[in-house]
Structure 1
Amino acid sequence: MINNEALLEKLQPNRNLMLFRLDGFKGTEIPRWGRAHDDWSIILPNLVNIQLRGCQRLHGIPLLSNLKHLKFLSLAMLNNLEHMETNAIGRGGSGSKDLPFFPSLEFLSLWRLERLKEWRGGVSEEDSSSCMPHWRPPFPRLSRVCIELCPKLTSLPPCPSLESLEVVLSNKLLRILPSEGPPNLDLKLNVEVDSVGYLTTLPARCLTDIVIRDNDELKRLSEFEEVFKSSSSLQKLEISRCRRLTSVSGVLEHLTALESLSLDDIPVVDEEFEDDMPWRSLSRNLRFLKLESLSTLQMLPRGMKHLTALQDLDISHCKSLKGLPEWISCLSSLHSLTIDSCTGLKSLGAIQNITSLQKLEILDCPDLREACQEPSGKEWPNIRHIPHISFTHWWE
């Protein structure tokens, strides 16, 4: 029988090691060479990349926050790990009260850490009971964070330089603690979440891209109107597979800087789309619009006629859509139109009046394809002015 801890004990790495990866280790503790000082900045000071994966019995790992060169940290399937950085200074190590918490870390991935409850950082153990606790600046360079399947994690230390955040299948109460000091006004933040609630503790003024997907609890975006009302810099919004979402009103009208909007597999009703106001608010800057898998959509929203800056329109898998409206010619800046798997679509409306249209792509729409064939198709006279026209099936 192999003793995992004894075997790894004999494999003490060189002090100059830059990449440390431990995969499938069955021991309960890191070997003595790794926990002698409880601080890897002493024994492996040059580490740049740490990956711990599938060490399901491991219940603790040494301090990593004092590693001056660490840029990449990935922790996955550590099923017994409950706490991180319980002493953020370290015992007798090279850490300093003046050294930021994870001073060089740029990428952090936490995946399937089923028992992880907290990630302490910023206040040292020796100072935490003091009347004047010493605060260490946390994650000064951390720009990308991915958190998935961490059901008990409720908070993460502040990330003042965060640019990309993905949180899915995790604790709905998870929050990133607010940063100390003045806000970074130049920060641009891209977010992908399965709960809009995560957005409430992020700096809304910095949000530029938001993806909301796989949220079966969300019914109305207006429940979070205050978040979107403050997101004046938001440029891209994608909502996907939120199968109980019936209303986007109360939000779109605040997103006047929005350039790209994608709505995919949501049961928004036609009446919801009839309101002109949201579309009028998007008229100045919206360049790209994608409507996908809107199974009940029988006609395009009338308010879309106000989207005079729209350049790319993608309509996919809207099988109840019967035809394009006559007002489609109001899209005076439209450059590219893609129609994919809209099997009920029979006509293209007044497409002949869109003189800006340069590209028409029709995929897996057999009836429409036949209607657009040169020279006898009934739609051919309406599309022959378009320089680039293509027809394909999914199997081609």
Structure 2
Amino acid sequence: MELSSCLELQSLSSLAKLRFLESLRLHDLPNLEYIESYSAKDMMLGSSVEGLQIFPRLVFIALYSLPNLKGWFTPLGETVSDDNQISSNKESQHSSLLFPVLKYLVITNCPELTSFPNCLKLTDLTLCLFNERLRITETPTSPKLEQVTIDNLTGLQHLLPIQSFQSLTLLTLRFNSEVESLNDFRQILCDCFSSLQTIEISLCSKIRTVFGGLSYLDSLNSLTLGNLPVLNLANEEIDENNEDESVGLGSLCHTLRHLHISYCGALVTFPKWMRKLTSLQQLKVMGCSPVLKERCQNPTGEDWPNIRHILSVSITERKYNNLT
């Protein structure tokens, strides 16, 4: 089901009666404030009496460009805290009735949304242009996320309990125009992402360094960096001459196996510290500068000694079309 560009719509009355609904997309609804006209208390108590689950088949929800959306339920008859979360023990008690199979949740450009009901089976979460105060209602049992795509890591600190992120295998950070270094998020990465295996970072216009912020990730084996115009590995604060190979890189020396880089125009060298990445098996660079391409030539390139230990190296130069 998809609804878009309904300019006067303020709520979707009785949407929960669509018991066979599997996918819901809502976008460009400028006056939508609450998706359900019922309160959480009324809906979940009514369903528990009837022995019914709410949205028993709904697997996918996407909310795009809903500038006035405040929550799923109308807060009628509930106590609403300062951050607009519904503080009701009854919601926790009946949480298993709501979204029992929801796995995929996308929230993009919903700046007023600060609460969302708990989704016990949620595995894949995408957040972009969201309110940092957004919370998914806490219950005794929280979801175990596997994949997260986000534009602001700071917003994860209070979104869900730490336990919800400890099964995460893929983290994608993109469309961030503020962050300059992943060192700014070192504590979040360390606390939340102990099982993280893959990180993808793209379309972040100011990010200059990444490796220092990843040094405490014990399971990371794949790193993808794309469209980072000012990324320069020479800026990493890593002591190339320290004999302890883990200094500055931590577990990455022994866990990182795949490094993919594309269209990072300021990247013109692979520094000497790359030799410390002894487990790296694949280096793939696409759309690189002519300078980097030349420096990585085998065997004459100035940087070749820093990457020759890598089993598979592929470096292709960016192609420019001549328009006449």
TM-score (norm 1): 0.64
The separation in 2 between residues aligned to 1:88 and 1:258, in whole angstroms, is: 40
Hey, what does 2:8 align to over in structure 1?
Answer: 57
Is residue 150–residue 169 contact of structure 1 (8 Å, CA) maintained in 2? Answer: yes
The separation in 1 between residues aligned to 2:177 and 2:78, in whole angstroms, is: 44
The separation in 2 between residues aligned to 1:128 and 1:99, in whole angstroms, is: 25
1:193 to 2:150 alignment:
yes
Is residue 280–residue 303 contact of structure 1 (8 Å, CA) maintained in 2? Answer: no
The Cα offsets for residues 205-245 of structure 1, whole Å up to 9 and x where unpaired, read as 12211111111111232222222102111011111122222
Shift of 1:249: 5.0
The separation in 2 between residues aligned to 1:255 and 1:114, in whole angstroms, is: 36
Which of residues 147, 171, 174 is equivalent to 1:213?
Answer: 174
Shift of 1:246: 2.7
Hey, what does 1:110 align to over in structure 2?
Answer: 63
Equivalent residues in 2 for 1:130-145 (5 A)? 133=90, 135-137=93-95, 138-145=98-105
Which of residues 3, 17, 40 is equivalent to 1:88?
Answer: 40
The separation in 1 between residues aligned to 2:25 and 2:88, in whole angstroms, is: 35
The separation in 1 between residues aligned to 2:204 and 2:183, in whole angstroms, is: 14
Hey, what does 1:338 align to over in structure 2?
Answer: 314
1:263 to 2:235 alignment:
no
User: In structure 2, the residue corresponding to 1:327 is in which secondary structure?
Assistant: helix
Hey, what does 1:350 align to over in structure 2?
Answer: none
Which of residues 268, 273, 295 is equivalent to 1:323?
Answer: 295
The separation in 1 between residues aligned to 2:148 and 2:129, in whole angstroms, is: 14
The separation in 2 between residues aligned to 1:288 and 1:233, in whole angstroms, is: 17
Gapped regions of structure 1 (runs ≥ 5): 1-49, 343-363, 366-392
Equivalent residues in 2 for 1:150-165 (5 A)? 150-165=110-125
Is residue 115–residue 152 contact of structure 1 (8 Å, CA) maintained in 2? Answer: yes
User: In structure 2, the residue corresponding to 1:65 is in which secondary structure?
Assistant: helix
The Cα offsets for residues 161-207 of structure 1, whole Å up to 9 and x where unpaired, read as 211111113334333233x12446xx342111111123223433122
User: In structure 1, the residue corresponding to 2:236 is in which secondary structure?
Assistant: helix
Compute the RMSD of aligned alpha carbons: 3.2
The separation in 1 between residues aligned to 2:278 and 2:101, in whole angstroms, is: 40
Which of residues 203, 208, 233 is equivalent to 1:241?
Answer: 203
Identity score, percent: 32
Amino acid at match of 2:206: R
CA radius of gyration, larger in: 1
The separation in 2 between residues aligned to 1:210 and 1:131, in whole angstroms, is: 32
Is residue 191–residue 209 contact of structure 1 (8 Å, CA) maintained in 2? Answer: yes
Hey, what does 1:181 align to over in structure 2?
Answer: 140
CA shift in 2, pair 1:164/1:53, >3 Å: same
TM-score (norm 2): 0.77
Amino acid at match of 1:246: R
Is residue 186–residue 214 contact of structure 2 (8 Å, CA) maintained in 1? Answer: no
1:252 to 2:231 alignment:
no
**Relative contact order, CA 8 A, sep 6+: which one is greater?**
2
Is residue 216–residue 242 contact of structure 1 (8 Å, CA) maintained in 2? Answer: yes
- Total equivalences in the alignment: 289
Gapped regions of structure 2 (runs ≥ 5): 81-86, 240-244, 297-302
Shift of 1:140: 2.5
The separation in 2 between residues aligned to 1:95 and 1:70, in whole angstroms, is: 17
Equivalent residues in 2 for 1:7-156 (5 A)? 50-65=1-16, 67-85=18-36, 86-88=38-40, 95-97=47-49, 99-120=52-73, 133=90, 135-137=93-95, 138-156=98-116
Hey, what does 1:308 align to over in structure 2?
Answer: 278
Amino acid at match of 1:339: I
